[in-house]
Amino acid sequence: MSSSPTSQAVEVTMPQMGVSVAEGTIVEWRKRVGDWVEADEPIVEISTDKVETEVPSPASGRVSEILVEAGSTVDVGTLLARIDAEARPGVAHADEGSEPEVPSSQFPVPSPGNGHGPPISPVVRRMADEHGVDLEQVEGSGRRGRVTKKDLLAFLGDKPDTRHQTPDTPAAEPALHSESPYREEEPAPAAGHQLSVMRRQIGEHMVRSIQTAAHCTTVVEADMSAIEAARGRLSYLPFVARATIAALREFPMLNATLEGDRLTVHDEVNLGIAVSLGDEGLIVPVVRNAHELSHEGLAARIKDLAERARSKKLTPDEVSGGTFTITNPGAFGALLATPIINQPQVAILDLEAVTKRPVVVGGDSIAIRPMTYLCMSWDHRALDGALAAQFLSAVRRHIEGWDG
Amino acid sequence: MTTTTAKLAAIEGDGRKAVLTEEDRRALLRYMLLMRATEERALTLYRQGKVPGSYYDGRGQEAISVGTAFVLGPRDRACILHRDLGAHLIRGVRPGRVLAQMMGRAGGVTGGKDGNMHFGDTELGCVGMVSMLPDMALVTCGLALSFQMRGEPRVAMTWFGEGSTANGQWHEAMNVAGVRKLPAVFILENNQFAYSTPNEREFAVDPVKRAEVYGFPGVKVDGNDVEAVFYAAAEATERARSGGGPTLIECETMRMHGHGAHDDMRYVPKEMFDVWAERDPIDRYEKKLSDDGFDTAEIHASVKEEIERETEWALSQPMPDPGDALQGVFATSEPRLGDGNAPWSRWKEARDA
Amino acid sequence: MPEMTYLSAISDGLREEMRHDESVFCMGEDIGAFGGAFKVTDGFIEEFGADRVWDTPLAENAIIGTAVGAAVEGLRPVCEMQFADFIACGFDQLVNVAAKMHYRQGLAVPMVVRLPSGGGFSGGPYHSQNPEAWFLQSPGLKVVAPSTAEDAKGLIASAIRDPNPVVYLEHKHLYRRVKGEVPEGRYEVPLGKVRVAREGTDLTVISYGAMVGIALEATDDLDGASVEVIDLRSLVPLDIEGILASVRKTSKVVVLHEATRSCGVGAEVCALIAQEAFEDLDGPVMRVTAPDVPIPFSPPLERAVLPQVDDVKEACRELLAY
């Protein structure tokens, strides 16, 4: 069915959807080479700047070439396909009926915007599953190119498919004619697996958070010497937590939750501490009334919560009601990060690696100090950069002025 | 059976020749007392919250169901109304089964399938009523038709209120019974009110007069005089048995309770109520028996003891299994009506046969 | 085997049962001396006597109610409504007394109610109805609707022998138009079993009564398609397994009945298929029925309402092409 471009060929190019849009991605071709298409009938679905849209055919005719495959991103104006406008409708593909659509059809007509081609009937879906058939490979002779039960049975070789007429020259694509039992080898699908439920849920929460809050990240550098001296075998985290709580007392606006337009500043500090669960993901147990605990108390609680998180023994109360979250992946050596806020809180503090660095101390002297970056992402809907910076400075002050 | 048939042939048309022995008369009183006691106990259970749905009784009308049902032979059949518990008791339904029926227990006559007085014990030859009245009058015609077609000296008896004589099906029943001269006895209980509707709003003509128009006799009796009712019914059943066709017996009475326990009867004029209270059928008959030298104390005691025993039994019955709800829509065999009790002495030979 | 009309087959079946069991008797308007409005009981009063062939008064509730009383006492009445439409006048006795008797009291009511049903001859709104769906909503009634002479005789026999009240729909249009071979003597066609009128593989038409013939005619030569036609013949009980077996085979279903659309027998069959055979479907389950209108009198109006051969062809074609 392919033919070389002729002077009657009508070109289909990547449209410009919006003044500033420079490129687009092919999502799905609605027509194959050899199909008949009417003028204004959707011929391809594209995606530009996160908006998906259908492109109507510029002319009636037979699709003679498709030049850009689904999934590719090309510049606006790129030639995508050609239509032979001189061609006549007829039996080229069996999904072109010679009768017009019956207007008084009782069938539910799927809305054009759902964008996934003709429906798969229950029996076809079941049989395809049972026999491991990829329906993309099956010729559809039903309405709108639908694969019917008969088509599938014929494909499976139950009975010869007498309805499909081979043209003299085989089509360049798609797969070979279904009369022959020969099947070209399918390329092995890329290895992959479904995300676990937990991963999906974490992902959904993160996406929602990004979409809800106006994320900004402010970074302040802190000298950890005083804590280094005091910590013994404890990790940095309980000390930073204690310092954070102290700072939250000075800047209660950071110990808040924002839901819609409603900002609630909390008296108590329920401190969420992110706990890694390895490959499975992460969870954020909450130290309730953390403001009542010393750094040792915090250390003990954090240790307990982390253990129970890993052995899946947390109660629902222990993973809800947080007012501020600290995440501490610093063991792995990263310096900076831009964490995602734990909704509906207004800020999250990321404690990254503590590394020894030369810093300026006193007036102009250089010393080697254990430094860390305190990276706080905060919601610009609830507060401004100035407040964020002031808060972080207070955290640093408490860290650097640590005296137990 | 031949003995009974011979006896039937011997009885004259004048039902007054029907004989009530001393034992029969005691039985008449006992059944009325038992009906009242059962209904009072059921009302108590209702007020105690043990009876789902509604509760209906026939207080003040005891003479009618007792007097009429007493004439029935074992092979006769009955379609009984909700005011006529006495008929069920005479046919042999135990009061405990009635109470269990009211409470929707598994041991009730319908096993919880239908409620209040919508029951009939198949084994005792009774067909249960439906709510639509007087549908059972037509079913009675069918029962009578089967006796006629088979040439059997059997009678079908049914009861209905004066209100239901306004209904098309009542007229269809009267017409069918009259045109075929069916062996049916129709007991019309005129208790003055159809729910709240008094007679003058129900019909223009005293219903007993309609029988003539349908081609058979209509008689009127004092519904609160159990023996008068009995003799009228005896005459009617003999007429039916001997091929003389149906009879309509209008029994005048008064419904002393509401249409149901939920009805406070405010539409009943107090004077009317007081007049009828003076005519209580049980009080009257007890006085009559006492005057004739009967000692009725023992009957009272026996009824009291029976009610206590029966109530205890009824309360011990479990509620039906929910799975029962799906059972019995269709028959797979053909259970037929059985024969009922016939306590009238006249049937003693039939019983002993 | 003798060939006889649908009407004669009903007569024959009734006669055989009355000869076999003297508790069987007929009752209805004009059925005795006149032989019945449609002559189904012609000659009966001569053979069986007026006692067993009763010309009743014009009173449908009386007919049905009296039948109930006779049935519980051991007789087997076969009632005739002069037209199916008049069952409405006996509706109370049928659905409130007959249908519920066994459930409430465990008493069998072995009676039959014959309903000459259906349109196609300018009977107008009161002589043309197909009221069977009303009785699917009355638990306790069985409902049958034969389409062939052989089934007409066998089903009247089964209906009479059944211990339950059975509504028997005899389609007036078939009385003299359908002829077939009918076995001699007594035989019963079981309730609750479909008849495969024609085997096929591409699509199933499920129907009953007069529409079975229409289904066969419409799909006899339909663009080379192989169409299976199922005759339900028993509506209560419904042969669910028989229906599903055909759906599994063809995966495309058209349900056809002359009765009006909403909540008809077709609605019940379609819902059943959608629920029990969802994964066997290769297309939507369709119905061809009369629309929700009273059946009109004038021929062009009536033809526009009752399903015609072309209506069935069109529906089948649409579904075949899906």
Q: What is the pLDDT of residues A254-302, one digit of tens each?
A: 999 999 889 999 999 999 999 888 877 888 999 999 999 999 999 999 9
Give SS3 for C260. Answer: strand
Put simply, the chain B residues between 70 and 89 with a CB less than 8 A from any chain C CB are: 77, 79
Active-site residue among C102, C127, C171, C257?
C127
High-pLDDT (> 70) share of chain A, %: 80
User: What pLDDT, on a 0 to 100 scale, did the predictor assign at position B341?
Assistant: 96
In chain A, DSSP finds a helix count (H) and a strand count (E) of 7, 18
**Distance of alpha carbon C26 from alpha carbon A387, whole angstroms:** 98
Report the C-alpha gap between C290 and C304 in whole angstroms.
9
With an 8 Å CB cutoff and a minimum of 3 pairs, decide whether chains A and B touch.
Answer: no
Report pLDDT for C121. 87
pLDDT at res. A100: 43
**Confidence tier at A7 by pLDDT (50, 70, 90):** low
Nearest-CB residue to B135 (from C72, C92, C109): C92
Mean of pLDDT values over C242-265: 97
Report CA B35 to chain centroid distance, whole Å: 11
pLDDT of residue A316: 79
Measured at the CA of C78, the angle between CA C77 and CA C79, to 5 degrees, comes to 105
Q: A75, A134, A317, A380: which one is catalytic?
A: A380
N- to C-terminal Cα separation, chain B? 8
Q: What is the pLDDT of residue A19?
A: 59
Q: Are strands B218-222 and A271-273 parallel, antiparallel or unpaired?
A: unpaired
CA distance B185 to B177: 10
Chains that touch C (3 or more CB pairs under 8 A): A, B
CA distance C101 to C103: 6
Provide CB contacts within 8 A for B286, sequence distance 6+. Answer: B29, B296
Is residue C294 less than 8 Å (CB to CB) from chain B?
A: no
Q: Is residue B106 within 8 angstroms of chain C, CB to CB?
A: no
- Candidate from A105, A108, A123 with C-beta closest to C281: A123
Q: To 5 degrees, how large is the angle CA C173–CA C179–CA C184?
A: 125
Cβ atoms of C294 and C306 closer than 8 Å: no
- Give per-residue pLDDT as tens, A110-128: 444 445 678 899 999 999 9
Distance (Å, whole) CA B91 – CA B127: 12
Are C278 and A106 within 8 A, CB to CB? no
Q: What confidence score (pLDDT) does residue A47 get?
A: 79
Burial of C179 (0-12, 13-18, 19+ CB in 10 A): middle
C chain contacts of residue A97, beta-carbon cutoff 8 Å:
321
* Burial grade of B269 (CB within 10 A; 0-12, 13-18, 19 or more): exposed
Contact call for C103 and B328, based on CB within 8 A = yes
Please state the φ and ψ torsions of residue A86, each to the nearest 5 degrees: -90, -15
Tokens 């035989």 locate to C187
pTM attached to this predicted model? 0.65
CB-nearest to B122 from C70, C97, C106 is: C106
Contact A106 C318 (CB under 8 A): yes
Beta-bridged to residue A286, according to DSSP, are A272
Q: Do C318 and A107 touch (CB under 8 A)?
A: yes
Whether residue C127 lies in the annotated active site: yes
B243: how many CB neighbours lie within 10 A of its CB? Answer: 11
With contacts defined as CB-CB under 8 Å, which chain C residues touch A152? none
Backbone phi, then psi, for A55, in 5-degree steps? -105, 120
pLDDT of A318: 86
pLDDT band at A219 (very low <50, low <70, confident <90, very high): very high
Q: Give the percent of chain C with pLDDT over 70.
A: 100
CA angle, C78 as apex, C125 and C182 as ends, to 5°?
Answer: 90
For residues B207 and B210, give the distance between their C-alpha atoms in angstroms, rounded to a whole number: 5
Contact state of A124 with C282 under an 8 Å Cβ cutoff: yes
Whole-number pLDDT of residue A401: 92
> Which residues lie closer than 8 Å to A222 by C-beta, 6 or more apart?
A371, A372, A373, A374, A395, A396, A399, A400
* Min distance C311 CA to chain B CA atoms (Å): 38
Instruction: Encode pLDDT of A368-384 as tens digits.
Output: 999 999 999 999 999 99
| List of chain B residues with pLDDT < 50 | 1-14
pLDDT at residue number B10 = 43
Q: In angstroms, what CA-CA distances link A215 with A201, A320, A385, C134, C311?
A: 20, 22, 11, 65, 64
Tell me, what amino acid is at C179?
K
By Cβ distance, the residue of C280, C282, C318 closest to A148 is: C282
A→C contacts (Cβ < 8 Å), by residue, are 97, 102, 105-108, 121-126, 142-143, 146, 148-150
**Which residues in chain B have their CB less than 8 angstroms from residue C75's CB?**
145-146, 149
Is C243's pLDDT higher than 50?
yes
A106:C280 CB<8 A: no
Phi then psi for residue A390, to 5 deg, are: -60, -45
| Phi, psi of A91, deg, nearest 5 | -80, 90
Residue C100 · residue C94 · CB < 8 Å: no
The confidence band for A342, taking pLDDT boundaries of 50, 70 and 90, is very high
Chain C interface includes B248 (CB < 8 A): no
Q: Which of residues 309-348 of B touch C (CB under 8 A)?
A: 328-337
Q: Which candidate from C251, C278, C286 shows the least CB-CB separation from A149?
A: C251
ipTM: 0.86
Chains interfacing with B (3 or more CB pairs < 8 Å): C
Distance (Å, whole) CA B239 – CA B321: 47
Out of B120, B131, B332, the one facing C105 most closely (by C-beta) is B120
- Interchain contact, B130 vs C52, CB within 8 Å: no
Q: How far apart are CA C279 and CA A149, in angstroms?
A: 11
| A253, pLDDT greater than 50 | yes
Question: What's the farthest any 2 CA atoms get from each other in chain C?
Answer: 60
Which residues of chain C make contact with A124, given a CB cutoff of 8 A? 282
Query: Across the interface, do A142 and C279 touch by the CB < 8 Å criterion?
Result: no
Does the distance separating the beta carbons of B145 and C96 come in below 8 Å? no
Given CB atoms, is C89 within the 8 Å cutoff of chain B?
no
The lowest-confidence range among B56-60, C119-123, C228-232 is C119-123
Residues of chain A contacting C200 with CB distance shorter than 8 Å = none
| Best mutation target, C72, C76, C95, C234, to test chain B (most B CBs within 10 A) | C72
pLDDT digits (tens, 9 = 90+) for A228-243: 999 888 889 999 999 9
Indicate whether C185 pLDDT > 80: yes
- Tell me which chain B residues have a C-beta less than 8 angstroms from the C-beta of C88: none
pLDDT tens-digit profile of A87-113?
777 645 545 544 444 344 445 444 444
- Taking the CA atoms of C64, C68, C69 and C73 in sequence, report the sign of the dihedral they define: positive
The chain-wide mean pLDDT, for chain A, equals 81
**Percent of the residues in chain A that have a pLDDT greater than 90, as a whole number:** 42
Among A319, A300, A323, residue whose Cα is nearest residue A309:
A319
Q: How many C-alpha atoms does C43 have within 13 Å on its Cβ side? A: 7
Min Cα–Cα distance to chain C from B297, Å: 37
Lowest mean pLDDT across A130-139, A195-204, A205-214, B111-120: A195-204
Whether the predicted pLDDT of A183 surpasses 80: no
Q: Is C71 on the interface with B (CB under 8 A)?
A: yes
pLDDT at A159: 46
